[in-house]
Structure 1
């Protein structure tokens, strides 16, 4: 099977990292994030838009208590320019990666990685240390099966955590986090291998993920695993945001 397109990636994100709600307002899809970050809190254009449509989305996002935030996908140059003209600034430009599942799937060293659902308390502590708090973990809880988390261990200690879920033939890994004192020891590689191994057993053909372009370490890691950039997106956030 051919690999995912960037359009596929947008759909996989919405399935494997779900907002609390999605509603149409005119040409817009409005996501209710409940404090869980841009992926689940941004508006996207689902039909052609004009400048006069922007206040519709702004009002709908403010009704959720959210600062207006738009996801700008590949090819949406006109919307990007319209928001820039209104003072919206770029936030979190993102690379989308993909690779055939066999490129990553492998057996990590013994007692290094474990598939766990629901996540253990120690995994929540790992995520908390990396800024992945209860609001983002609530996203994991509402994602439909198949899904799991990966507990990573090194030096006989819990040291890492990741979340992986499947949408159609594509798996996506989210929230890959290693405690600072245990980094640079290969644990993130082992967790990605374990995630791909789990995804392969559940019928996925490709592993995907997203990371910000300025996360140099993460981008280097995913390229080292044989993953390639297939596109991306960025956000435009309202100038009222701090």
Structure 2
């Protein structure tokens, strides 16, 4: 690999490049007083507390001490093979990606926990992502979490994964024992990307890097959190917004359908797919997904994922028809009201 510029190694990546495909070189060991180098190519999935994690195409992760890094650069994503299966990933990897693709406006670390806040706009951006030991006894971690969110006028939530090797079920049970309650049950579903790109109607969809006023008006979650919502929606490694014009329909204000996709290495995260009531059952949701999937394929992704609430049968039926299958379940544990005051 050619890392050099002017005959010298250069580290040309930073923590802001998390989610991008990179090539890095590090000192693996010292033999007879001389460094032995090792290289890794993959998606930079995290860069925290002096440690980088690069996830290779086969799903294996390489942990690299920042102090051992001697060179690094962003590399173009390899074109995805049409018809390829969705790449394998653990629940943790997908939840980390989902957090990057729906980024909070403020974060704090408590050991292996990441506390996220965004003015109350969605539970995902205003909850703890527990990816390890908090570094203190659980009762203390729960109390600190409640205070952190209480200082921001927010309820305390912890997002927990259920099922599979990355299950947080033990944590969930412990929080229940402390008076926390479960809500917001959902599934994270995955699918190969290429078949979605082949759905009809993509030609009628307009894509943009930014969500305009019409797009935000159509999105039902924006509400009073307009400014914060715009920042969360616009954050992520490679964000695309889709809209289908209403073609002058006087009964529809704004676009007839919208959607959002964030390309994050091997995966594309889909969400905010909504269709105006008078334009439903016309294939517009599929058209939006197809247009976004084509863009994601162009950027090297081969897998897709999305989140859907377990009780939303209509959405689940739609996504089932597109090839999405459940990967894992998750929900939120909400702190007791007395702890929020």
1:13 is displaced (CA, Å) by 0.6
Cα distance in structure 2, aligned partners of 1:141 and 1:186: 26
Q: What are the within-5 Å matches in structure 2 for residues 1-242 of structure 1?
A: 2-48=87-133, 50-52=137-139, 53-74=141-162, 75-106=167-198, 108-109=200-201, 111-127=203-219, 130-133=220-223, 134=226, 135-144=228-237, 146-153=238-245, 158-240=255-337
1:126-178: CA deviation from partner (whole Å, max 9, x where unpaired): 11xx233323332022323x211011246665201111111111110121111
Cα distance in structure 2, aligned partners of 1:192 and 1:70: 30
* Structure (1 or 2) with the greater helix fraction: 1
After TM superposition, the structure 1 stretch with the greater mean CA deviation from structure 2, 159-168 or 131-140, is 131-140
After TM superposition, the structure 1 stretch with the greater mean CA deviation from structure 2, 165-174 or 3-12, is 3-12
Q: Does the 8 Å contact 1:169/1:205 carry over to 2?
A: yes
Cα distance in structure 1, aligned partners of 2:149 and 2:204: 42
From the superposition, tell whether residues 76 and 109 of structure 1 become closer, same or farther in structure 2 (CA, over 3 Å). closer
Cα distance in structure 1, aligned partners of 2:202 and 2:318: 22
Cα distance in structure 1, aligned partners of 2:268 and 2:203: 23
Cα distance in structure 2, aligned partners of 1:209 and 1:110: 19
1:213 is displaced (CA, Å) by 0.7
Unaligned runs of 5+ in 2: 1-56, 58-86, 250-254
Cα distance in structure 2, aligned partners of 1:56 and 1:26: 12
From the superposition, tell whether residues 119 and 214 of structure 1 become closer, same or farther in structure 2 (CA, over 3 Å). same
- SS state at 1:142 partner: coil
Cα distance in structure 2, aligned partners of 1:29 and 1:116: 31
**Equivalent pairs, count:** 238
1:22 is displaced (CA, Å) by 1.8
Cα distance in structure 2, aligned partners of 1:216 and 1:138: 30
Q: Does the 8 Å contact 1:166/1:172 carry over to 2?
A: yes
From the superposition, tell whether residues 156 and 29 of structure 1 become closer, same or farther in structure 2 (CA, over 3 Å). same
Which has the larger Rg? 2
